[in-house]
Structure 1
Amino acid sequence: MRELRGRTAVVTGAASGIGRGMAEAFAGEGMRVVLSDVEEAALHRTAAELRDAGAEVHAVVTDVADAADVTALADSALRTYGAVHVLCNNAGVYTGSKPSWESTLDDWAWILGVNLMGVVHGIRTFLPVMIEQNEEAHIVNTASMAGLLPGGSLYGATKTAVVSLSETVHLELVESGSRPRISVLCPGLVDTDIYHSQRNRPARFPDAGPVPGTWSVDAARQAFKEFGVRPRVIGDEVVRAIREERFYVLTHPEYRDHIKHRTQRILDGENPTVLSPPAPGRR
Structure 2
Amino acid sequence: MDSFDGKVGVVTGAASGIGRALAAGLAAEGMRLVLADVEASALDAAVEQFRSAGHTVEGVVADVSDRAQVEAVAAVAIDRFGALHFAANNAGVAIGGPAWELTEADWQWVLGVDLWGVIHGVSVFTPLIIEAGGGHIVNTASMAGLTSTPFMAPYNVAKHGVVTLSETLALELAMLAPTVGVTVVCPGWVKTGINRSERNRRDDGAAADAEPAADGAVAGGIDLRSTIDGLIATGLDPDDVAAQVIDAVHTRRFSVLTHAGWSSLVTRRAERLVSGDQPELVLPAND
Give TM-score, length-normalised by structure 1: 0.92
| 2:278 match | 271
Identity %: 43
1:261 aligns with 2:244: no
Q: CA deviation at 1:265?
A: 1.4
Q: 2:232 aligned to 221, 224, 227, which one?
A: 224
Q: CA deviation at 1:50?
A: 1.5
Q: CA deviation at 1:204?
A: 3.4
- Paired with 1:147 and 1:278, the residues of 2 have a C-alpha distance of 15
Give yes or no for contact 1:92–1:114 (8 Å, CA) kept in 2. yes
Q: CA deviation at 1:280?
A: 2.4
Q: CA deviation at 1:219?
A: 7.9
| 1:213 match | 215
- Calculate the aligned-residue CA RMSD, in Å: 1.9
Q: How many residues align?
A: 277
Alpha-carbon displacement from aligned partner over 1:155-192 (angstroms, at most 9, x marks no partner): 11100010011111111111224421111100000000
Name the amino acid aligned to 2:244: E
Q: CA deviation at 1:208?
A: 4.8
- Paired with 2:66 and 2:205, the residues of 1 have a C-alpha distance of 14
Q: CA deviation at 1:240?
A: 0.5
Stretch moving more, 259-268 or 234-243: 259-268
Q: CA deviation at 1:198?
A: 0.8
Name the amino acid aligned to 2:140: T
| 2:93 match | 93
Give yes or no for contact 2:13–2:92 (8 Å, CA) kept in 1. yes
| 1:77 match | 77
| 2:101 match | 102
| 2:126 match | 127
Stretch moving more, 188-197 or 28-37: 28-37
- Paired with 2:38 and 2:262, the residues of 1 have a C-alpha distance of 31
Give TM-score, length-normalised by structure 2: 0.91
- Paired with 2:198 and 2:177, the residues of 1 have a C-alpha distance of 42
- Paired with 2:146 and 2:229, the residues of 1 have a C-alpha distance of 23
Name the amino acid aligned to 2:215: G
- Paired with 2:53 and 2:16, the residues of 1 have a C-alpha distance of 16
1:280 aligns with 2:280: no
Alpha-carbon displacement from aligned partner over 1:194-215 (angstroms, at most 9, x marks no partner): 1001100023344455333246
- Paired with 2:200 and 2:177, the residues of 1 have a C-alpha distance of 40
Query: Any idea what SS the aligned residue of 1:50 has?
Result: helix
Query: Any idea what SS the aligned residue of 1:101 has?
Result: coil
Stretch moving more, 214-223 or 187-196: 214-223
- Paired with 1:131 and 1:90, the residues of 2 have a C-alpha distance of 20
- Paired with 1:27 and 1:196, the residues of 2 have a C-alpha distance of 27
What is the correspondence of 1:173-212 to structure 2 with a 5 Å cutoff?
173-211=173-211, 212=214
Give yes or no for contact 1:14–1:20 (8 Å, CA) kept in 2. yes
| 2:141 match | 143
Name the amino acid aligned to 1:213: D
Unaligned runs of at least 5 residues, structure 2: 217-222
Inter-CA distance 35–205: structure 2 relative to 1 (3 Å threshold): farther
Give yes or no for contact 1:25–1:235 (8 Å, CA) kept in 2. yes
Query: Any idea what SS the aligned residue of 1:100 has?
Result: coil
| 2:248 match | 241
| 2:220 match | none
Give yes or no for contact 1:131–1:178 (8 Å, CA) kept in 2. no
Q: CA deviation at 1:220?
A: 5.5
- Paired with 1:164 and 1:137, the residues of 2 have a C-alpha distance of 20
- Paired with 1:42 and 1:78, the residues of 2 have a C-alpha distance of 24
Unaligned runs of at least 5 residues, structure 1: none
